[in-house]
Amino acid sequence: MKWNTSALALAVGALCSSQAFALPQQALDQFGNDVAVSYTVIDNTQDEWRTFRAVIALDNQGATALPATGWSIWFSHIRRIPTVLTDQFTITHVNGDIFKLEPTAAFKGLPAGQRLDIHFDGSDWQAAKTDIMPNWYFVSEHEGLAVSALIKSTSNMIDGKVPVLPQDELPFVGDFTTAKQWKRYDSASLSDLYDPFTAEQRFERNASLSKIDDVVGVVPAPAQMTVGTGDVALDADWIVVYDAGYEQEATYLAEQLGLTVAPWSPTTAKVIKVGWGQVSLNSRSVWTEAYNLTVDAAQNSIKIAAADAAGAFYAAQSLLQLVDNGNVPAVQITDAPRFEYRGFSLDASRNFRDKTTVLRLLDQMARFKLNKLHLRLADDEGWRIEMPSLPELTDIGSRRCHDPEERSCLLPFLGAGPDGSADSNGFYTAQEYREILTYAAERNIEVIPELDMPGHAHAAVKAMEARYHRLMEEGQPEAAKEFLMTDFDDKSEYLSVQMFTDNAMNVCMESTFNFVDQVVGELAALHQGIQPLKTFHFGGDEVAGAWKNSPVCDAFFANNDKGITDPDQLSQYFVERVAAITANHGLNLGGWEDGLMHSGKVYPRANMANAVVTGNAWQNIWEWGVGDRAYNLANNGFKVIYNHATHFYFDHPYEPDPNERGYYWAPRYTDTRKTFGYMPDDVFANADFTRAGAPISKEDVVASAGVKKLERPENVAGLQSSLWAETVRTSEQFEGMVFPRIIAMAERAWHTAPWEAHDLQSKPADEAARDADYNRFANLLGQHVFADLEAEGIDFNLAVPGAKVVEGVLHANSPFPGLTIQYSQDNGTSWQVFDAANPPAVAGKVWVRTASGERAGRATSVQ
C-alpha cells in the first residue's frame, strides 16, 4: 500500500488516539526519512575530569507531526549517559553500547517543520567524529511485536557505499571547531595539551625529511646490504631454478616475475638460483629464516642461498622489492630476522573482514616478512568461525539486528542498524577458513586463532542460550545443558569496559569447559592437513566483576577440591583449566597479559600444562603504573610478545584530530614515525608523552613507579601490532588504518637499528641517527612501496601534508618524500600537482592534500 501525506497523518492520528499503540511499518519508515537526527558535542571540559555535554537534535522535516508516544530511538553510544537534561525524554542503557531514547508524558509530539534539542551529559569524553556511531533507528512495539526503521540522516551509506573519511561517513555528527569540543579535559589539575595540527605545524614536523634521489633499499632493512655498480636486466629468457626442498619458494618467485621454473641445471644460462646455503651473521651461523642474496651485474646472475625454505621465501621478497622496470641493482645481502615472532592481530569480530581482505593482508604481511596472523574470531559483538556442531554460534553470533531477546541475532552493536550491515554480519565458513590457512601456509605465515574467554564472550554466551532454549523446546534437556555457559539465577551486577552486563562465561559450570573443549577441538580439526594448529589464544582480557552472586558459583565454592572459596580466584582457575584442555589437544596457549595475572600478580607458570604459554603485553601507558607487565611475564617463564598499545594499536588515529578515525585511549595518536621509532630492547626508553600530552622520559617513569628489569630476555618472542575494529567498517578503512604503520612495525620486528637504546648498554637513543634512518625508510615508501601498494589495490593511508605560505609562495611537504602533493585555490573544485622545485605563487586560502592514483587524502588549508 502506498501512503500519501494526508493518509499517513490520518493513520497516525487515529493510532495516537488509542491508549497503547504501535506505529505501522509504513509510518515508521516515513518518520525515518523525515525526522533528521544530528549529534553535536558541546563541551568535554565542563567539569574537573570525566563528563561531557552533547545535544541530540530531532528535526521534523516532513509534513506529519511525530507523535507523542508509540516510538523510541535505539542507537549505539560508546559512553554512558547518566543525565538527560530534559523531562521530555529518558535515555536507557540496554546492553553493550546500545541505548534507547524514549519520550515521556511531558513530550507532546514534534510538529512538522520544528526541531527539538535534547541535551545530556555523558561519561568521559567524545573528542572525535568516529566516537559517534551511525545507523540510529526508530522502533515501535506493542504486545511483544516490534517494527523498526533506519533514520536516514544517520546512515553512513552514501550512494550505496560507506566512505573512507569520517567527515564523509558521519555527516550527522557536528564539526569539532572549538577546543572545548576536541580536548578531553581542561581543569586546574589536568589539561589536555593536544590540539589538531595546523598545516604549518605539519610542515615543521616534516622538516627533517628530504628527498633521496635514486634511493635503493629493501623494507624491512636487511641485516647487511651492500649496493654495487650496475644492474641485471630481467627478461623473458630468464628462468628460476631450484634445489630440492625449495621448489615452492622458487615457484612463488617465478609466478611473481612472470618467469618459468625448473629444477637446477648446470647448463642453464640466465637463471635465478634458489637453493640451500649456510648463512653467517656477526661470525655466527644462522639456521632459521636466514638468507644470502647476490645480484651480480658482472656475471649477470642472481643467486639465493638460504638456510631453510622460509629464508628462501624472504630472499624472494627482498629481490621482488629491488626489481624496478625489470632491472635489479647489483647488491649483496646477508639477512636474518631479529625476532622469531613478527605478527599482526586482526579483529574480525567487532566488524567483520571478509576472506578476500584477509588474503590481501596475507600477501602484504609476507612481503614485509611478518609470519604470524593472530586472528580474533570471537568477541562480545560477534562470533566469526563456523562450528558445524554448534550452528547457533554463527546463526545468532555472526548476525546483528533488532532483537532485544537476542534469540535470532545479536543486538546491532557498533552502529550496525536495525537490519545489520555488511561489516557487522558475516563469518568464515569452514571451507573459507581452510582457504585462509592454505594461503597463509604458502606465505610462511602461521595463523593463531583467538576465541576470547571468559570475558568478551557475549556472542558465545547468547548463542549457547539460544541453543539451550531450542533444545529445551524440543524436549532434550540434557543436550540443552551440555554447552550452556549461563547461570539463569545469577544476580551478579557488573559492567564491562564495553558496557556489557552479561559477557562473562560462568566458569563455575562444567558445561562451560565442555564448550571450550568442543570449540578448541573443532578449530584443531580445521587446521589438519594444511597447517597444524600450534597455539590456541584464549584472550582472557578485561574480565569484569562477574560470578559474585551466582548460585552455581556459591555451590562450587562450598564443594571443590581446588581450595577455591572466592570469585577473585576464579580467573586463575579458568586459565589453568583451559591450559589443561589445550595441552590435551597438543597445543600451546596464548593470552593477553591481563588474562595471565590478577591484581598485578602473575599466575604460576608451573600450573599450566602447555609446553609454551605466550602473553601479549599491551599496556605501557606510563601513568597507569603497569608498564612492567611484559617484564613480569618474561621473568616468570612466559613467552612474551610486545604488543604495546602506545606504538602498535592501529585503531588509534594518525593525528590528534577529530576528523581522524579511531579511538585514542592509549596514546592520543600514533603515526608511522612513532611506530618506526619503537625500541624493543628497552621498553621504558619508549616513554614519550603522557596521555594528556606532557613529555615524559624513562627516568620519569623509573622515579615515579620503579621499573622491574628484564631478567630473562630469551623469553621475549617478538613484536605484534593490532587493529581493533570498533570504528572500522570497510576494507578500505581497514587498510588505511593498517598501512603504512604495519610496515614500520615490520621494520622493528625484523631489523635492529644501530640508533636504538639497549637496556644492557643503558644508552639513550641516537636521535640524529634515528631521524636519518627514518628519512631512508620514508623515501623508500614514498618513492617505491606506495606505488606498489596502489597497484595491488591496497588503500593505504594518505597522510595530510604540511604547508606554509611565505611571501605569497606555497611550500609543502609530506611525511613520505616522493608521495604526490596536490593543491587547490578554488576550495577543492580543481586540483594541481605541487612541484617543490617550482613552488607556485598563491593568494588567499589554499587547500593541500596527498594523492595516489585516483585516491586523495584528507585536505587541509593554509593561507
Rounded to an integer, what distance in angstroms lies between the CA atom of residue 701 and that of residue 774? 26
The residue annotated as part of the active site, out of 542, 576, 623, 790, is 542
Q: Which of 601, 592, 604 is nearest to 541 (CA)?
A: 592
DSSP summary character for residue 4: P
Q: Which of 55, 3, 56, 13 is nearest to 33 (CA)?
A: 3
Residues 6+ apart with CB under 8 A from 703: none
Q: Amino acid identity of 302?
A: I
Is 48 a residue of the active site?
A: no
> Cβ(120)–Cβ(93) under 8 Å?
no
> Cβ(744)–Cβ(676) under 8 Å?
yes
Question: CA–CA distance from 689 to each of 348, 622, 643, 648, 671 (Å)?
Answer: 30, 9, 18, 15, 14
Residue 794 C-alpha cell reads as: 591496497
> Cβ(798)–Cβ(196) under 8 Å?
no
Residue 60 C-alpha cell reads as: 521534523
Q: Which of 392, 397, 380, 401 is nearest to 471 (CA)?
A: 392
Residue 768 C-alpha cell reads as: 640524529
The answer to whether the bond into 764 is cis (omega within 30° of 0) is no
Question: CA–CA distance from 551 to each of 171, 460, 482, 560 (Å)?
Answer: 48, 21, 18, 14
> Cβ(487)–Cβ(552) under 8 Å?
yes
Backbone φ and ψ for 352, nearest 5 degrees, come out as -85, 140
> Cβ(52)–Cβ(124) under 8 Å?
yes
Residue 53 C-alpha cell reads as: 555535554
Backbone φ and ψ for 154, nearest 5 degrees, come out as -95, 0
- Count of CB atoms within 10 A of residue 14's CB? 10
> Cβ(192)–Cβ(184) under 8 Å?
yes
Rounded to an integer, what distance in angstroms lies between the CA atom of residue 108 and that of residue 89? 11
Q: Which region, left, alpha or beta, applies to residue 632 given φ > 0 means left and ψ of -120 to 50 means alpha?
A: alpha
Rounded to an integer, what distance in angstroms lies between the CA atom of residue 139 and that of residue 144? 12
Q: Which region, left, alpha or beta, applies to residue 220 given φ > 0 means left and ψ of -120 to 50 means alpha?
A: beta
Rounded to an integer, what distance in angstroms lies between the CA atom of residue 734 and that of residue 353? 9
Residues identified as active-site = 542
